[in-house]
């Protein structure tokens, strides 16, 4: 199987006042199409940095990273933006919906940045956005503003936004961090379902409950991989 995400000895060093902070210090990891992976670690372990690098919001200072067979180090800012738009879907802990747009417009946001042949007209965007909302079970809430929705519903809208471009990878950063346990379960069930359907899902979390849903857990400590193993779900 071709790997979708290929990290080879990836380093991310920051220079803070003469001192070098090794947020990532030689991480090698490969994630294949269709995998369901949780990246775990305590605060300061480098999991957020890894998430940013996988998400092409940040570039490694050493090693190399291939996403969908493209060397990320070689891309400029515009190409990175394009790659994020094409290949990735982001889900954030605090949802990050735009407060003045209704659910449909929020979901359609990535579509307005599509370029070239992929360019869409406003009616096409609405159709695609509505379809994505259907997928997360919010087909009837399209005209609601974020503040008219519950936390769980907002996160569903955010997931629909991440899905609308049919990304190869769904990247979720603590997706249940701001939700109560019942809603968390529903959201995790949604991720399970999406993974089942073939979407590659990468979760970043510090909660074991959440990580348990994944088929593979990569644990980081001090910028290095501590363990990388298949869970019961994965082997089953």
Partner 1 sequence: MNFTEALRSALANLGAHKLRSLLTMLGVIFGVGAVIAMLSIGAGAERQTLEMIERLGIRNVIVKAKTFPDDDLREIRQKSAGLSMRDVDAMLMSVPGVETVAPKIDIEPYQVLAGRQIAEAKLAGVSAQYADLMSLGLQDGRFFDPVDERQHAQIAVIGQGTRRTLFGFDDAIGRRLKVNDVWLTVVGVLNGNAETETADGISVENPDTLIYVPITTALRKFDRRPLDSPLSEIIVKLKDELPMEASISTGRVLEQLLSQLHGAAEDYEIVVPQTLLAQSRRTQRLFNIVMGSIAGISLLVGGIGIMNIMLATVLERTREIGVRRAVGAKKKDILIQFLVESFTISGLGGLVGVVLGVTIAKLIALSAGWPTLVTLSSVLLATLVSLAVGMVSGIYPARRAAELDPIESLRYE
- Does 223 bind partner 1 (CB under 8 A)? Our answer is no
Minimum gap (Å) between residue 215 Cβ and partner 1: 26
Of residues 41 and 110, the one with the C-beta less far from partner 1: 110
DSSP 110: G
168 burial (CB, 10 Å; 0-12 / 13-18 / 19+) is middle
Minimum gap (Å) between residue 133 Cβ and partner 1: 16
Minimum gap (Å) between residue 90 Cβ and partner 1: 5
Phi-psi region of 183 (alpha: psi -120 to 50; beta: other; left: phi over 0): alpha
Query: Which residues, numbered 67-86, are part of the site for partner 1 (CB under 8 A)?
Result: 77-78, 81-82, 84-86
Measured from the Cβ of residue 66, the count of other Cβ atoms closer than 10 Å reads 16
Owner of token pair 């869970």: 231
Minimum gap (Å) between residue 120 Cβ and partner 1: 11
Of residues 84 and 130, the one with the C-beta less far from partner 1: 84
Q: Which of 14, 100, 139, 189 binds partner 1 (CB under 8 A)?
A: 100
Distance of alpha carbon 217 from alpha carbon 32, whole angstroms = 14
List the x/- string, 34-53, binding to partner 1 by CB under 8 A: ------------------x-
DSSP, residue by residue, 56-98? TSS--SEEEEEETTEEGGG--HHHHHHHHHHHEEEE-TT----
Distance of alpha carbon 31 from alpha carbon 221, whole angstroms = 19
Cα angle vertex 200, ends 39, 50, to 5°?
30
Of residues 52 and 217, the one with the C-beta less far from partner 1: 52
# chain residues binding partner 1, by CB under 8 A: 24
- Does 55 bind partner 1 (CB under 8 A)? Our answer is yes
Distance of alpha carbon 8 from alpha carbon 110, whole angstroms = 29
List the x/- string, 165-204, binding to partner 1 by CB under 8 A: x---------------------------------------
Minimum gap (Å) between residue 92 Cβ and partner 1: 7
Query: Which residues, numbered 133-162, are part of the site for partner 1 (CB under 8 A)?
Result: 161
- Does 96 bind partner 1 (CB under 8 A)? Our answer is yes
User: C-alpha dihedral over 12, 71, 86, 196, to 10 degrees?
Assistant: -80
- Does 14 bind partner 1 (CB under 8 A)? Our answer is no
φ and ψ at residue 57, rounded to 5 degrees: -90, -15
Which residues here bind partner 1, judged by CB under 8 A? 52, 55, 57-58, 77-78, 81-82, 84-86, 90, 92, 96, 98, 100-101, 109-110, 112-114, 161, 165
């Amino acid at each position: 199987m071709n790997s979708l995400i290929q990290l080879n000895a990836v380093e991310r060093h920051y220079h803070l006042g003469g001192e070098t902070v090794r947020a990532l210090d030689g991480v090698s990891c490969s994630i294949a199409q269709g995998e369901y992976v949780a990246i775990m670690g305590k605060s300061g372990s480098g999991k957020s940095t890894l998430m940013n690098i996988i998400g092409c919001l940040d570039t490694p200072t050493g090693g190399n990273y291939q996403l969908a067979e493209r060397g990320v180090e070689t891309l400029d800012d515009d190409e990175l933006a394009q790659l994020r738009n094409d290949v990735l879907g982001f889900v954030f802990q605090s949802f990050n919906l735009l407060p003045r747009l209704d659910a449909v417009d929020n979901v359609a946001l990535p579509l307005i940045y599509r370029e070239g042949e992929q360019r869409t007209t406003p009616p096409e965007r609405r159709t695609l956005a509505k379809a994505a909302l259907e997928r997360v079970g919010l087909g009837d809430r399209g005209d609601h503003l974020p503040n008219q929705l519950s936390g769980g519903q907002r996160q569903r809208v955010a997931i629909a936004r991440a899905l609308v471009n049919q990304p190869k990878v769904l990247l979720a950063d603590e997706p249940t961090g701001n939700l109560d346990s019942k809603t968390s379960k529903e959201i995790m069930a949604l991720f399970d379902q999406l993974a089942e359907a073939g979407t590659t899902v990468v979760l970043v979390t510090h909660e074991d409950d959440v990580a348990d849903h994944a088929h593979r857990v990569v644990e980081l400590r001090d910028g290095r991989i501590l363990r990388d193993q298949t869970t019961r779900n994965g082997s089953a």
